[in-house]
Amino acid sequence: MATILLAGGAGYIGSHTAVALLNAGYDVVIADNFANSSPEAVRRVERITGKQVRLYEADCRDNARLAQIFRENSIDAVIHFAGLKAVGESVAYPVRYYRNNIDTTLSLLETMADAGVKRILFSSSATVYGEENPIPYLETMPRGVCTNPYGWTKAMMEQIFEDAAKADPSLSVVLLRYFNPIGAHPSGLIGEDPQGIPNNLMPYVTQVAIGKRECLTVFGNDYDTKDGTCGRDYIHVMDLAEGHLKAIGYILQHSGVEVFNLGTGTPVSVKELVETFEAVNGVQIRRIYGGRRAGDLPEYYANADKALAMLGWKTERSLADACRDAWNWQKQNPNGYRGVET
């Protein structure tokens, strides 16, 4: 079975993808500098799967360290999760975001070329569609104007991959545009572990539920949507992980560049998500309606037909499943991975 290098694989999506890959029989190597994660997540992946991961503490901007990893392992494909992802922080510290996110990509491409590794999946985002494209988003639409530096790093990295693949036809690239990942592995052993005040909706909701935050502020209820709150395409992180599994199967057989949306194809409003969370888990979420958050679009969601047609992938889990699994993770790990002996 093939060996897959997960750059940034100790993080939220990487750890769940590692579970899916290991369960399918792949060997997994993880390189992460733990800028936003903990080695404990990798130990838990091993516990869930009963399999071993080869873990390197490594900054993926460090070509010498990456070259060592490629030397010590026979890597068949790379999944590039490594990056900083907080939208607000990217506005405050744009240079840090450009430096980290673009450099990880360049270093991976350089060291892959030296090592003769030709296949890479990249964690892109629905944010690259910008503000101009009509919904639902289709892979054939042009990238739009992004509203923040984080989004621009994703758009720029997509361009870098496309140019690199054009220059080297033996390089295979799959750009995966994620919509809104939520939920956790059903074991409750791994999940989303934000540092400080969560920016994203689901971890904020679970922290209100457990009493760490007093009240959720719903950002805007005067949008032109079904109930006035924003609509997003929330995808269970294990469905997303299985999308990577399918994409790895694809890239091991095909060359060139392909782009896939990974989403459910259905928008869910903030109000619906919070009400589903309450109903499924039997808890109350204190909430107030506040003003709109700068840069938020009223509604967007995926057209996910291409992933079904070419990868044979579609989401299998419901919003209720994601709400239950997110709460299970939060209850079992009130402080995330912190405070755990490593």
| Site residues, ligand NAD (CB under 6 A) | 8, 10-14, 32-37, 59-61, 81-85, 100, 104, 123, 125, 178, 180-181
Closest CB to ligand NAD belongs to which residue? 11
| Residue 270 contact partner, candidates ligand UDP, ligand NAD, none, CB within 5 to 8 A by sort of partner | ligand UDP
Residue 209 contacts residue 277 (beta carbons within 8 Å): yes
Give Cβ neighbours of residue 338 (< 8 Å, ≥ 6 apart).
Answer: 38, 193
Q: How far is the CB of 268 from ligand NAD (least distance, A)?
A: 15
| Residue 107 contact partner, candidates ligand NAD, ligand UDP, none, CB within 5 to 8 A by sort of partner | none
| Residue 164 contact partner, candidates ligand NAD, ligand UDP, none, CB within 5 to 8 A by sort of partner | none
Rounded to whole angstroms, the Cα distance separating 11 from 123 reads 12
Q: How far is the CB of 203 from ligand NAD (least distance, A)?
A: 10
Q: How far is the CB of 22 from ligand NAD (least distance, A)?
A: 17
| Residue 100 contact partner, candidates ligand UDP, ligand NAD, none, CB within 5 to 8 A by sort of partner | ligand NAD
Residue 177 contacts residue 125 (beta carbons within 8 Å): yes
Rounded to whole angstroms, the Cα distance separating 307 from 327 reads 29
| Nearest residue (CB) to ligand UDP, 114 versus 296 | 296
Going along 77-202, which residue ranges are E strands?
77-80, 119-125, 172-178, 180-182
Distance of CA 140 to the CA centre of its chain: 21
Q: How far is the CB of 282 from ligand NAD (least distance, A)?
A: 27
Angle subtended at Cα 243 by Cα 121 and Cα 198, rounded to the nearest 5 degrees? 85
Q: How many CA atoms lie within 13 A of 14 on its CB side?
A: 32
**Interface with ligand UDP (CB under 6 A):** 180, 199-201, 204, 216-219, 230, 232, 270, 293, 296
| Nearest residue (CB) to ligand UDP, 163 versus 296 | 296
Is residue 328 classed as helix, strand or coil in its secondary structure? Answer: helix
| Nearest residue (CB) to ligand NAD, 8 versus 198 | 8
Tell me whether the omega of the peptide bond preceding residue 136 falls within 30 degrees of 0, making it cis: yes
| Nearest residue (CB) to ligand NAD, 35 versus 91 | 35
Q: How far is the CB of 99 from ligand NAD (least distance, A)?
A: 9
Q: List, in sequence order, every residue forming a beta bridge with 290; answer none if it has no partner.
A: 219
Rounded to whole angstroms, the Cα distance separating 25 from 36 reads 27
Residue 267 contacts residue 230 (beta carbons within 8 Å): no
Catalytic annotation on 150?
A: yes
Q: How far is the CB of 232 from ligand UDP (least distance, A)?
A: 5
List 150, 178, 300, 301, catalytic entry: 150
| Nearest residue (CB) to ligand UDP, 191 versus 258 | 191
| Residue 8 contact partner, candidates ligand NAD, ligand UDP, none, CB within 5 to 8 A by sort of partner | ligand NAD
Q: List, in sequence order, every residue forming a beta bridge with 269; answer none if it has no partner.
A: 231
| Nearest residue (CB) to ligand UDP, 137 versus 204 | 204
Residue 141 is given by DSSP the state S
Rounded to whole angstroms, the Cα distance separating 104 from 110 reads 10
- Active-site residue set: 150
